[in-house]
Structures are given as C-alpha cells and as structure tokens.
C-alpha cells in the first residue's frame, strides 16, 4: 500500500481505499502477487517518444554518470541531480531527480564511490530504490554480471575456428561462410541509406502497403491510404510501432584491396554512442540531405578493426559482394594476434610456392579482376595474381596507397555484383612455340 500524494498514484488503478479509525490492517505472510507492481519500459521508447502518454511506468538501469547536486534554488524540493542511466543494450537515458530523492542518491554515491547504483523509478522520479534487496533489482544485477561472460564469448569468436581471410580472397561470394578480416574503415559510401525503419519487436525492416478504406456513407467510394507493417504477421497488432536503426555502408581496406561491408545497429551504437533516432533528428535539424551521411559518422574512419563477416545465401545467389558485419573489435591484442597470423600464413605460403625452375621455363602471369572501392565509386582493378593474391606478398601496412598495389584498368566490368572476367594482361605477349622438324 502507498499513500496517494499530489494526486499521483503508484498503480494504474483509479480506485482508492479510505482507512479510518475502525480499519484493521494485518500483514500478509504468504502474498503471491508482485510486491512493487513494476511496469518497466524500454529506454528507446522514451527517447523516441513512442512511450504511452498520460500514464506511469518504471525504469531500471545502471548509473554511468552523475553530476553534483544542484542546490542554488532556495526551495529544497527543487534541488536536483542529473545523471545518466544505461540499460543492458547500452542505451543511455538522461534523468533528473529532485528533492529528497536527489539527496538520497547523492549520499549513497558519496558513501559508495566505487559502487554501482541501480535506479528504478517513475520517469518524474517520485519513488526510487537504490540497490534494494528486491527481485527485480537482483535479477538486473545478475544480468549486468553476465555481461562479462557475454563479452568473453564475444571476443572468443575472434579466437575460434573462423578462417582468417584477406580482401583479395573474398571479393567473389562463391559460397556461404563466416570469416575473420583485419582491415581499416576508409570511408562511408554516399547516396546510400545509413538508417532504416524497423519493427520494434523483431527488428526487421518494415514495408509500406496500400490499404483500401470503404466509406460508410457512400459504399461505392473507396479511399486508399498507405500504412506500414512488419513482414512478420505476428508483429502487426495494436502494439505495433517502429524504431530507427543503423545500416551504415562502409568501405574497408587491408594490404590487398578494398571492399564494401554493412555495419548494423548493434555494433554501430557501440561505436557511435548515440542511437540512430537521435542522430537522425540532429541530421534533420541541420537541414542536411538524406543522401549525405551525418558528419558524426566520420569518427569511424581510419580505425582498424578485426571483423567477423558473413557471406550469406543472398550474397551467393545474387553475386553481391557487399557483406554483413556480425561483430567487430578494436582490441589491440586481438588485432595484433590476427595480423601475426597473417604474417605466418604469408611465410608458409612462400615456402610452399618455392619450386625450382629450368632456365628454359617461362612463367606467364594470370590476372584476375577485383573490385577497388574508393570514396564515391567502384573501379575494377587488374591484379597480378602472382604478386597481389599470393600470401607471400601481403602487406599489413594499411596506410599503403592502393595505386601502389593496383594497375587501374577502366573496363566494362564496373559492377560489384557482376561476375568478374578472367583476363590476360594486354602487355603480356602470347608465346607461340617453335616446332623444329
């Protein structure tokens, strides 16, 4: 039970109970219902303003930053402290706490400078629990603790059984596979969408469909409206709503070439520390075109990562070599370890390929087109397979200019989704054997 103060109730019920001097209260020792009756809400729904209006809800999160208590107002109830809460998905929500709760939180943080405070409250913060021994907070603590094991398993994927590749080896989507790649992000591709509208429940891209509306007054009159819905029919109920998610098209480069990858919402949020909805609002407020990516994305450039990349069935069937990033890490130890493996692979490759040649033998180079992607274009490049696609010649110096590696040949093969043609260099003469009779 809780008192109704200032016309606000902690529950969604409009009914109230009036107690007088004849009322008898007795503690219930076997109550099976929820003790606090929490109704938690997702941080994104508050940030994107899709949460229910004119109602109450609860938040649970980890305090990641807090400002000093502000006491300049002479009225103590208007003293406040500003803080930032983070949920398990690393979404940050700014919260302001007033009055008694502000002093309560400040005192707790002062006494526990190395501790982590968990906060749970109405959005306007009329009630607050700090590390209380209740089921909901204990479960949340366990989920935070499990993040370490999640992080460990996340990193394990870069030390597991996935093959390590270079870009020149995977320019053609010949089969479905997952592989590791060490490369630097060199640019974000223009004139492509960097966000999309997704279903709030399943995260899939929504579709626009036409809906026919019949007039009640005129049965022959039919109007048509466009509505959005999820591809999964089970999501299209009264609670259906959309969220903005990242789909950032990037180019990455290693010592053997450049290729396009797609960076999706989970990894993008970790790198940018801002959700797509907020960045879209900033971009629109600046009056920038949707065809241009926000300047905030430039922080991704010139950073070296280890990528876990997926060549999907779609890539193979459509011969599309724009692959999906499943995971990435900037951990120096992991990147260095993978680069060392590449060096070892190159040395082993040289040893295997060293064979004696007779003086009369002629080695003719076989060339193969790969795609070289720069800021605004896709350009086919003719790569000498004996030098560029041999592991012995792979350089890990990612600052190396591509023009030092490739002889650019502007041919007909301009699409990154079309089959590459096998070719013989124009400067390589065909050898006609002389037959002596």
* CATH value at residue 183: 2.40.50.140
Q: Give CA–CA dist 174/32, Å, rounded.
A: 58
| Same-domain check for residues 257 and 405 | yes
Most confident of 7-16, 273-282, 307-316: 307-316
| Same-domain check for residues 310 and 262 | yes
Q: Give CA–CA dist 231/290, Å, rounded.
A: 25
Residue 212 tokens read as 């026919």
| Same-domain check for residues 106 and 188 | no
**Residue 34 falls in which region: left (phi positive, over 0), alpha (psi -120 to 50) or beta:** beta
| Same-domain check for residues 116 and 188 | no
| Same-domain check for residues 306 and 405 | yes
Q: What confidence tier does 312 reach under pLDDT thresholds 50, 70, 90? A: very high
* CATH value at residue 118: 2.40.50
Mean pLDDT of the chain: 73
The partner residues of 184 in beta bridges, in order of sequence, read: 253, 304
- For 352-357, the CB contacts below 8 A with 24+ separation are 353/390, 353/392
> What does each C-alpha distance from 172 to 177, 270, 326, 342, 390 come to in angstroms?
12, 30, 19, 20, 16
Does residue 4 form part of some domain? Answer: no
| Same-domain check for residues 122 and 176 | no
170 contacts: CB under 8 Å, gap ≥ 6: 179, 181, 259, 309, 311, 321, 323
3-class DSSP assignment, residue 45 = helix
The pLDDT of 285-294, averaged and rounded, is 81
| Nearest to 311, CA basis, from 168, 157, 155, 172 | 172
Q: What pLDDT score was predicted for residue 411? A: 37
Most confident of 26-35, 197-206, 335-344: 335-344
The pLDDT of 76-105, averaged and rounded, is 85
| Same-domain check for residues 182 and 326 | yes
The partner residues of 5 in beta bridges, in order of sequence, read: 8
Does residue 29 form part of some domain? Answer: no
Does residue 403 form part of some domain? Answer: yes
**Global confidence as pTM:** 0.50
Q: Give CA–CA dist 189/37, Å, rounded.
A: 48
Of 65 and 413, which is predicted with more confidence? 65
Q: What pLDDT score was predicted for residue 42? A: 81
The partner residues of 62 in beta bridges, in order of sequence, read: 86, 118
Q: Give CA–CA dist 305/185, Å, rounded.
A: 8
| Same-domain check for residues 393 and 256 | yes
**At residue 192, does pLDDT exceed 60?**
yes
The pLDDT of 146-155, averaged and rounded, is 54
**What is the percentage of the chain residues whose pLDDT exceeds 70?**
63
Q: Give CA–CA dist 164/339, Å, rounded.
A: 10
Q: What pLDDT score was predicted for residue 163? A: 92
Residue 22 tokens read as 């004849």
**At residue 388, does pLDDT exceed 70?**
no
Does residue 372 form part of some domain? Answer: yes
Q: Give the torsion through C-alpha atoms of 298, 183, 393, 374, to 10 deg.
A: -40
Residue 245 tokens read as 């998610």
| Same-domain check for residues 314 and 368 | yes
Does residue 71 form part of some domain? Answer: yes
| Same-domain check for residues 348 and 279 | yes
| Same-domain check for residues 309 and 179 | yes
Identify the weakest region by mean pLDDT among 117-121, 160-164, 289-293, 353-357. 117-121
What are 244-259's pLDDT values in tens digits?
899 999 999 999 999 9
The pLDDT of 284-295, averaged and rounded, is 82
| Residue range of the domain that includes 48 | 43-138
Q: What confidence tier does 168 reach under pLDDT thresholds 50, 70, 90? A: very high
CA atoms 192, 198, 203, 208: torsion sign? negative
Does residue 358 form part of some domain? Answer: no
Does residue 228 form part of some domain? Answer: no
Q: Give CA–CA dist 10/365, Å, rounded.
A: 78
The pLDDT of 30-34, averaged and rounded, is 67
Identify the weakest region by mean pLDDT among 195-209, 216-230, 280-294. 216-230
Spell 376-409 as b/e; 16+ CB within 10 A means b. eebbbbbbbeeebbbbbbbebebeeebeebbeeb
What are 322-341's pLDDT values in tens digits?
999 999 999 888 999 999 99
Identify the weakest region by mean pLDDT among 56-65, 164-173, 359-368. 359-368
Q: What pLDDT score was predicted for residue 415? A: 40
Identify the weakest region by mean pLDDT among 76-90, 172-186, 201-215. 201-215
Q: What confidence tier does 352 reach under pLDDT thresholds 50, 70, 90? A: low
**Quick one: 106 exposed, middle or buried, by C-beta within 10 A (0-12, 13-18, 19+)?**
middle
Residue 267 tokens read as 């990894």
Helix orientation angle between 265-272 and 276-285, rounded to the nearest 10 degrees: 70
Q: What confidence tier does 216 reach under pLDDT thresholds 50, 70, 90? A: low
34 contacts: CB under 8 Å, gap ≥ 6: none
Does residue 416 form part of some domain? Answer: yes
């Amino acid at each position: 039970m809780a008192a109704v103060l200032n016309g606000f109730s902690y529950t969604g019920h409009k009914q109230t109970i009036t107690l007088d001097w004849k009322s008898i209260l007795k503690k219930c020792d076997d109550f099976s219902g929820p003790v606090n009756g929490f109704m938690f809400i997702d941080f994104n729904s508050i940030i994107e303003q899709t949460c229910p209006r004119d109602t109450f809800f609860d938040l649970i999160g980890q305090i990641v930053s807090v400002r000093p208590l502000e006491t300049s107002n002479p009225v103590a109830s208007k003293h406040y402290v500003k803080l930032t809460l983070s949920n398990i998905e690393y979404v940050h929500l700014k919260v302001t706490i007033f009055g008694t709760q502000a002093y309560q939180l400040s005192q707790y943080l002062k006494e526990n400078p190395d501790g982590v405070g968990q906060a749970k409250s109405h959005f306007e913060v009329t009630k607050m629990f700090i590390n209380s021994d209740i089921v909901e907070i204990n479960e949340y603590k366990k989920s935070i603790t499990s993040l370490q094991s999640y992080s460990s398993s996340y990193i394990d994927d870069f030390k597991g059984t996935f093959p390590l590749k270079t870009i020149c080896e995977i320019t053609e989507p010949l089969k479905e596979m997952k592989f590791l790649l060490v490369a630097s992000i060199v640019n974000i591709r223009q004139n492509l969408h960097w966000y999309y509208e997704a279903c709030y429940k399943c995260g899939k891209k929504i579709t626009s469909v036409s809906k026919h509306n019949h007039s009640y007054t005129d049965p022959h009159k039919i109007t048509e409206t466009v509505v959005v819905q999820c591809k999964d029919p089970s999501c299209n109920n009264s609670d259906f709503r959309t969220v903005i998610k990242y789909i950032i098209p990037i180019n990455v480069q290693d010592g053997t070439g450049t290729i396009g990858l797609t960076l999706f919402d989970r990894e993008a949020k970790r790198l940018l520390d801002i959700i797509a909805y907020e960045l879209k609002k900033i971009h629109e407020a600046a009056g920038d075109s949707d065809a241009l990516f926000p300047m905030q994305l430039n922080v991704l450039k010139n950073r070296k990562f280890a990528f876990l990349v997926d060549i999907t069935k779609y890539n193979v069937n459509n011969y599309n070599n724009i692959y999906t990033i499943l995971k990435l890490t900037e951990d120096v130890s992991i990147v260095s370890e993978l680069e060392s493996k590449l060096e070892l692979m190159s040395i082993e490759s040289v040893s295997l390929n060293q064979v004696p040649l007779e003086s009369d033998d002629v080695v003719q180079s076989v060339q193969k087109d790969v795609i070289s992607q720069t800021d605004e274009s896709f350009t086919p490049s003719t790569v000498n397979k004996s030098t560029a696609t041999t592991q012995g010649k792979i350089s890990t110096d990612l600052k190396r200019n591509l023009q030092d590696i490739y002889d650019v040949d502007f041919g007909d093969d301009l699409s990154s989704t079309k089959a590459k043609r096998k070719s013989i260099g124009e400067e390589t003469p065909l050898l006609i054997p002389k037959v002596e009779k």
